[in-house]
């Protein structure tokens, strides 16, 4: 892959664009590997992990439990504060902004090659959702 862009220079929405796809894929893999195979059930189950509401809940827990580094928090805020021109279908603007920040953090970790940390946080997210 040709890397002509420094991921640390990307805006929050570009990071969130990548993070959205990556987190969705991780959740789909988790659901498939846990034995869920019916398409409608997969979609309904995935929503519990990837909705704006779920992502806002998760990032709030991460912040409350102080599990993010200063740099990770900075990239979350970059995404959260980005001016989006789209609206969430089922979330208020605060929830949607927090969700965008969550996705920006995931995108940042992926694009900077932080695979172990990315996997650690995704596993943490799955645990938190399954506890609720």
In this structure, what token pair is assigned to residue 76? 């979350």
**Residue tagged 């504060």 (tokens):** 81
Inter-residue contact 42 to 28 (CB < 8 Å): yes
35 — alpha (psi -120 to 50), left (phi > 0) or beta? left
Choosing from 6, 20, 92, 116, which is the catalytic residue? 20
20 is catalytic: yes
Handedness of CA 78, 83, 86, 92 (dihedral sign): positive
Active site residues: 20
């Amino acid at each position: 892959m040709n890397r002509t862009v420094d991921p640390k220079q990307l805006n929050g929405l570009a990071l969130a664009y990548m993070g959205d796809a990556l987190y969705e894929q991780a959740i789909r893999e988790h659901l498939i590997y846990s034995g869920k195979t019916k398409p409608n059930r997969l979609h309904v189950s995935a929503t519990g992990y990837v909705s704006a509401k779920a992502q806002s809940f998760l990032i709030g827990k991460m912040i409350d439990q102080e599990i993010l580094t200063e740099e990770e928090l900075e990239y979350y805020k970059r995404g959260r504060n980005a001016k989006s021109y789209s609206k969430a279908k089922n979330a208020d603007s605060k929830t949607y902004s927090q969700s965008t920040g969550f996705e920006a953090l995931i995108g940042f970790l992926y694009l900077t090659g932080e695979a172990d940390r990315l996997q650690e946080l995704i596993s943490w997210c799955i645990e938190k959702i399954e506890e609720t």
